[in-house]
Amino acid sequence: MQKRKLGKSNLEVSAIGLGCMGMSFGYGPAVDKQDGISLIRAAVERGATFFDTAEVYGPFTNEELVGEALAPFRKDVVIATKFGFKIENGKQAGLDSRPAHIQQVADASLKRLKTDVIDLFYQHRVDPNVPIEDVAGAVKDLIQQGKVRCFGLSEAGAQTIRRAHKVQPVAALQSEYSLWWREPEKEIIPTLEELGIGLVPFSPLGKGFLTGAINKDTQFDKTDFRNVVPRFSAENREANQTLVALIGQFAQQRKTTSAQIALAWLLAQKPWIVPIPGTTKLQRLEENLGAVNVELSPGDLRELSAAASKIPVQGARYPEELQRLVGR
């Protein structure tokens, strides 16, 4: 497995990581715990060293799963988790990035993850009630205490990134980025390049859509987050098949899969981009990790990028109340 550095930080990780959220949360019923442990360990055996979780996934159960699965390999892997939500009665209840709360979350996450240090601690969403300088300062304190190695932000806007970075260098920004969400190319990616910050794209396969496995007739489980995402309405799924067909055609010509083309395209954008596709299936895990071996020539990349940019994507990527939490 190839390795990559997240920007100028000292975090070296596998070129493709594993987003663990979907094993516990967001995409229908949680997987059986033993099955989740087996899958995470299978990823380690196949060279993955970068694992992403958050206290709010579950809440709490995903961190416990990741902690147990990775305990035997702890020295060889990088674990990222997140703070920034209030959790009440087992549910997300607004934002909370007050420094005292960040400290509490860190201590609780360390226990659940069965570790004495969090490799990468992201603010999950920017909290408009707490100056980002205070948030960065709180994580800086945790780094000085030896509880955290590196600071990250998730879905933050360019100005917030700059302000945070002045207080405590930001190692990585986690944001959605893929062939069907290219907004970060305008302002975010140039900002990260200038400051030496890595980019960790989540949903690099468009929440499963770019694999070609979802069509207008797909029925999601009632607990699946995609039911409330405008981009996943039946009519938008039908309209967005044009992009899926383009990627599928590209994959066929190169004797690979749509998922591998979508991931290889991301890897080719910058050497400090590390996508974290999620899955609950071993076959998909192997397919995703195999994308590091797919070589796209400069001509391939130009052709794919140009063709994809001509296809307008239908539907917002978040419902309105969640859209307000991003890009601040």
Name the token pair of 216: 């207008």
Asked if 265 contacts 205 with a C-beta cutoff of 8 angstroms, the reply is: no
**Which among 57, 122, 177, 318 is annotated as catalytic?**
57
48-64 b/e (C-beta count within 10 Å ≥ 16 → b): bbbbbbbbbbbbbbbbb
230 beta partners: none
Render 20-56 in DSSP notation, one character per residue: -GGGTSSBSSPPPHHHHHHHHHHHHHTT--EEE--TT
Q: CA–CA distance from 262 to each of 9, 152, 190, 199, 258 (Å)?
A: 26, 24, 21, 16, 6
Name the token pair of 110: 């360390």
Known catalytic membership, residue 57: yes
State the pLDDT at residue 22.
Answer: 98
State the pLDDT at residue 3.
Answer: 98
CATH number for the region 3-209+267-294 comes to 3.20.20.100
- 294: how many CB neighbours lie within 10 A of its CB? 20
State the pLDDT at residue 186.
Answer: 97
Angle between helical axes of 158-167 and 188-195 (0-180°, round to 10): 20
Q: CA–CA distance from 276 to each of 33, 104, 138 (Å)?
A: 20, 27, 26
State the pLDDT at residue 23.
Answer: 98
State the pLDDT at residue 167.
Answer: 98
State the pLDDT at residue 150.
Answer: 98
- 114: how many CB neighbours lie within 10 A of its CB? 16
Give the 3-state secondary structure of residue 240: coil
pTM: 0.98
Give the 3-state secondary structure of residue 113: coil
Cα torsion angle, 213, 215, 217, 220, sign: positive
Give the strands of the sheet with 198-202, arranged side by side.
18-19, 50-52, 78-83, 118-123, 148-154, 170-176, 198-202
- Max intra-chain CA distance, the chain: 54
Sequential pLDDT tens for the chain (328 residues):
999 999 999 999 999 999 999 999 999 999 999 999 999 999 999 999 999 999 999 999 999 999 999 999 999 999 999 999 999 999 999 999 999 999 999 999 999 999 999 999 999 999 999 999 999 999 999 999 999 999 999 999 999 999 999 999 999 999 999 999 999 999 999 999 999 999 999 999 999 999 999 999 999 999 999 999 999 999 999 999 999 999 999 999 999 999 999 999 999 999 999 999 999 999 999 999 999 999 999 999 999 999 999 999 999 999 999 999 999 9
Distance CA 160, CA 97 (A): 14
